Amino acid sequence: MSLYSVLIGRPLPKSSAGQERLPRLEALPILSSDALSSVAYATEAALGVLILAGSRALSLSLPITLAIIALITVVVLSYRQVIAAYPQGGGSYVVARDNLGRNVGLVAAAALLIDYTLTAAVSLMAAGQAISSLIPSLLHHEVALTLLLLALVGWANLRGLREAGRIFALPTYAFVVMIALLTLVGLHDLVAHHGFRPDPPPLVTSMEPLGLFLILRAFSSGCSAMTGIEAIANGVQVFREPAPVNARQTLLVMGGLLALMFFSVSGMGFLYGIAPDPNVTVLAQIGTKVFGPGTPLLWGLQISTLLILVLAANTAFSGFPLLAAMLADDRCLPRQMAWLGDRLVYQNGIGVLLAGTALIIWVCQGDTTVAVNLYALGVFTAFTLSQLGLLLRWWRQRGEGWQGRMLMNALGASATFVVLVVIIISKFWEGAWTVVIAIPLLVWALAAIRRRHREVAAAMVPDPLIEPLYLAPVEAPVQHQAIVWMGGLTRATLEAVLYACTIAEQVTAVMVVGDRDDPGQISLDWDRLVGADSGDLQLKLLVSPYSSVIQPFCAFVREQETTHPERRTTVVMPVAVSDNLLDRFLLNQRALYLYRALSAQGTHVFSVVRTSLEPVQPVD
C-alpha cells in the first residue's frame, strides 16, 4: 500500500457514495461550524466599533444584535427557498447564474471563492492566536502552528466526508453545549443575584461622534455572525436522501442555534457591562463573570471556543470544492476541478484551497487584523445577488404565494446591499480594496476559461459532411492490436481511431462512462460517425465502480496484454495541441495522468495523435 493510501485511505467504490453522504446530525457540524463559531467574535466586532463613541454607545449593542438576528432570519428563510428551488445545490452562484445571467453568476462565484479562502485563513489564524494566548511560549510560532492546523483540517477532508463528520461533530456540539451552559448559569445569576439592571461599562473617552455611519459600521461588523450561512445551500449533496428536505431542516436548526447563541452572548455582555479589551475576549469576560475566574467551566468554554474556531475553516473545505466543481462543469474552471477523487471528495478543489489559504496565512504572518476586514465582503455580495435572483424568479413565475416571497427577498436584498456598501466604504482603506479589485479579476479569469472552452469545443466538433470514418480494411501488421483512449467523441478522438486503423488489424476504442453519460446515446453517435458495420473496429464502454476513469482503462489494457501475449499492443492517445497558453491547463490533463499510470504498470508502446486546434467562432 502506498503512503498516500495510508494517509488518505483506500479508494471507495462509487456504490458507497450514498453511504458517504451524511445524516443531519453529522452534516450540521461540518456545514455550520463557520456560522456557529462567529458567536465567539461577532458581538466583540460590533462593540469594538461602538466603543469609538465612548462607553455610553455600548448600550446600542442590543438593538444592533436584534437587527442582525432579523437579517439572519430573512437570509435563512431565503436560503431554504434556494434549496427548494435548486435541490442539486449551488447556492448564490446557481441562483444568480439562472436568474441574473451567466456573468452575474460569475460575480457571485468569485465572491464566494474569495470568501471561502479568507474564511479558512481567518478562522485558523484566530485559532492559532487563541492557542498562543493560552500558552505564551508559542507566540513566536503562530504561523507554523496555524499551518499545522491547516494541514490537519485538509487531511481530514481528503479522507472523505464521513471521516470529517466524525472528527468535527464533537467539538462543534461541545461549543453549543458550553454556550447553553453559559446562558443557563447566567440566567440563574441574573434572576437570583444580579438582577436585570445592566452594569455600567468601564469609562472610555469618546474618539468619534456617535452618528448614523458609526452605527452602520458597528452593524456591518456584527454581521460577521452571518458568514457561513449559505454553506448548507451550497452543500446539499453532502446530505443523505432526501437531501433537499434534510438540508432545509438542518438550515433551520442552524439558523435557530445561531440566533439564540448570538442573542445570549450579546445580552449578557450588555447586562454585565462588558467592554472590548485587547487582551481578553468579550466571550472570556462573560465566562469569567458567570463561571468565575479559573473554573473548569471557564476552561471548557475557552477550549471549546478554540476548537470550533479551528473547525470553522472546515465550512470552507466543504463549500469551496463543491462550488469549484460546479464551475468546472460549467467550463469556467479546468475540468480536473470536477474530478471526484478515490475518497469521493473533490480532492483537487481541496488542494487549491489548501494552497490559497496557506499563502494568505504566510502573507499575514498569522495576524487576523487585515484579513478579518475582508472576508465579510464576499459573503454579502453573494447574499445580495442570490436574493435579487430569487426576487426575479418569483416575479417571472408568479406562482402561489409569490408576493410574500418577493417581499421577503426584496427586504433581504436591500438590507444585505446596505451592509455591503457600508463594508466597502468603511473598510476600503483597511484592506477591503484588495477584494474589490480581486473579484473583477477573478470574474475575468473565469469568463476567459469559459470562452476558451467554448472555442475548443467548437473547433473539435466532428465534420458531419464527411463519409463514415471506417474505411476498407488496411493492410496492417499481423499480431498487432491498438487500444484507443476516448475521452469523448471529438475530432481528436476520431483522428486517433483512424490512425489506429492504419497500424493494427484489431482496434478497440475504449471509453469509461460516468454517471452522467448515456451509453445508448454514445453508441448511436458512434455508429453515426464511424459506421454501423465497422468490422474489426470495436467500441468498448467501461463502467467504473470507483470515481476514477484512469484505473478501468489501465485494467482493460492490462487484461488485453495478458490475454493476448502474442500480440503487440499499442495504446493510442489523442491530444489537442494549441498555441494558446491557457490550453496547457485546460486540455489533455487526463491523457497525462493516463500516460503515467500505464507507464507505471509496464505498458511501453504509445502513439500520440496530435490534433491542432484551429480558431473557430464558438457556438453559444
Q: Could you report the per-residue pLDDT of 41-80, keeping only the tens digit for each?
A: 788 888 888 888 888 888 888 999 998 998 888 888 888 8
Residue where one domain finishes, among candidates 433, 451, 469: 451
Supply the pTM of this predicted model: 0.69
Q: Given a cut of 60, is residue 3 above it in pLDDT?
A: no
Does 13 reside within a domain?
no
> Which pLDDT score is estimated for 258?
93
Domains: count for the chain? 2
Which set of grid coordinates corresponds to residue 64? 444592533
Task: Kindly state the average pLDDT of the residues 217-243.
Answer: 79
Which set of grid coordinates corresponds to residue 367? 495576524
Does 387 reside within a domain?
yes
Q: Please, which residues have CB within 8 angstroms of residue 482's CB and are 6 or more apart in sequence?
A: 500, 501, 503, 504, 506, 507, 508, 569, 570, 571, 572, 607
> What does DSSP assign to residue 566?
T
| Domain shared by 415 and 491, yes or no | no
Query: Cα(535)–Cα(531) distance, rounded to whole angstroms?
Result: 10
Percent of the chain past pLDDT 70, that is, above it, reads 84
| Domain shared by 322 and 422, yes or no | yes
The stretches of 365-431 forming alpha helices (DSSP H) are 368-371, 375-397, 402-427
| Domain shared by 393 and 523, yes or no | no
Strand 606-612 to 506-513 pairing: unpaired
| Domain shared by 340 and 251, yes or no | yes
| Domain shared by 572 and 444, yes or no | no
Query: Cα(543)–Cα(97) distance, rounded to whole angstroms?
Result: 32
Query: Cα(97)–Cα(386) distance, rounded to whole angstroms?
Result: 9
Residue where one domain finishes, among candidates 435, 451, 467: 451
> Which pLDDT score is estimated for 12?
53
Query: Among residues 86, 98, 96, 117, which one has the least CA distance to residue 233?
Result: 86
| Domain shared by 358 and 242, yes or no | yes
pLDDT in tens, 311-339: 777 778 877 888 888 888 888 888 778 77
Which set of grid coordinates corresponds to residue 135? 500558552
pLDDT in tens, 357-371: 889 888 877 666 666
**Cα–Cα distance list, 331 to 115, 457, 517 (Å):** 21, 10, 17
Specify the DSSP element, H or E, that contains 481.
strand 480-485
Q: At 546, is the secondary structure helix, strand, or coil?
A: strand
Query: Cα(501)–Cα(477) distance, rounded to whole angstroms?
Result: 11
Does 474 reside within a domain?
no
Does 457 reside within a domain?
no
> Which pLDDT score is estimated for 77?
84
| Domain shared by 369 and 516, yes or no | no
**Long-range CB contacts (within 8 A, 24+) of 496-502:** 496/572, 496/573, 496/574, 496/609, 496/611, 497/469, 497/530, 497/537, 497/572, 498/469, 498/471, 499/572, 499/607, 499/609, 500/570, 500/572, 500/607, 501/470, 501/471, 501/474, 501/476, 501/537, 502/474, 502/476
Q: What CATH number is given to the structural domain containing 490?
A: 3.40.50.620
| Domain shared by 417 and 504, yes or no | no
| Domain shared by 127 and 249, yes or no | yes
Which set of grid coordinates corresponds to residue 592? 497525462
Specify the DSSP element, H or E, that contains 608.
strand 606-612
> Which pLDDT score is estimated for 620?
47
Residue where one domain finishes, among candidates 451, 466, 489: 451
Q: How confident is the model at residue 390 (pLDDT cuts 50, 70, 90)?
A: confident
Q: Can you give the length of the chain in residues?
A: 620
| Domain shared by 176 and 66, yes or no | yes
Does 463 reside within a domain?
no
Most confident of the following: 83-87, 123-127, 265-269: 265-269
pLDDT in tens, 489-535: 888 888 888 888 888 888 888 888 877 778 888 888 887 777 666 66
Does 6 reside within a domain?
no
Percent of the chain past pLDDT 90, that is, above it, reads 7
Q: Which residue has the higher pLDDT, 131 or 393?
A: 393
Does 510 reside within a domain?
yes
Phi and psi at 443, nearest 5°, equal: -60, -45
pLDDT in tens, 431-483: 778 888 888 999 999 998 888 888 877 777 776 544 555 544 545 445 788 88
Mean pLDDT check: name the lowest of 10-14, 62-66, 201-205, 551-555. 10-14
| Domain shared by 439 and 528, yes or no | no
Phi and psi at 211, nearest 5°, equal: -130, 180
Query: Cα(72)–Cα(300) distance, rounded to whole angstroms?
Result: 28
| Domain shared by 112 and 245, yes or no | yes
Burial grade of 571 (CB within 10 A; 0-12, 13-18, 19 or more): buried
Q: At 618, is the secondary structure helix, strand, or coil?
A: coil
Does 170 reside within a domain?
yes
**Cα–Cα distance list, 288 to 139, 306, 588 (Å):** 23, 16, 60
Identify whether the C-beta of residue 487 lies closer than 8 Å to the C-beta of residue 589: no
Query: Among residues 93, 102, 337, which one has the least CA distance to residue 230?
Result: 93
Phi and psi at 473, nearest 5°, equal: -55, 135
Query: Cα(328)–Cα(324) distance, rounded to whole angstroms?
Result: 6
Angle in degrees, 0-180, between the axes of helices 375-397 and 61-85, rounded to the nearest 10 = 50
Query: Cα(179)–Cα(172) distance, rounded to whole angstroms?
Result: 11
Identify whether the C-beta of residue 386 lies closer than 8 Å to the C-beta of residue 95: yes
Task: Kindly state the average pLDDT of the residues 552-579.
Answer: 82
Q: What CATH number is given to the structural domain containing 122?
A: 1.20.1740.10
- The domain containing residue 552 runs over which residues? 480-612
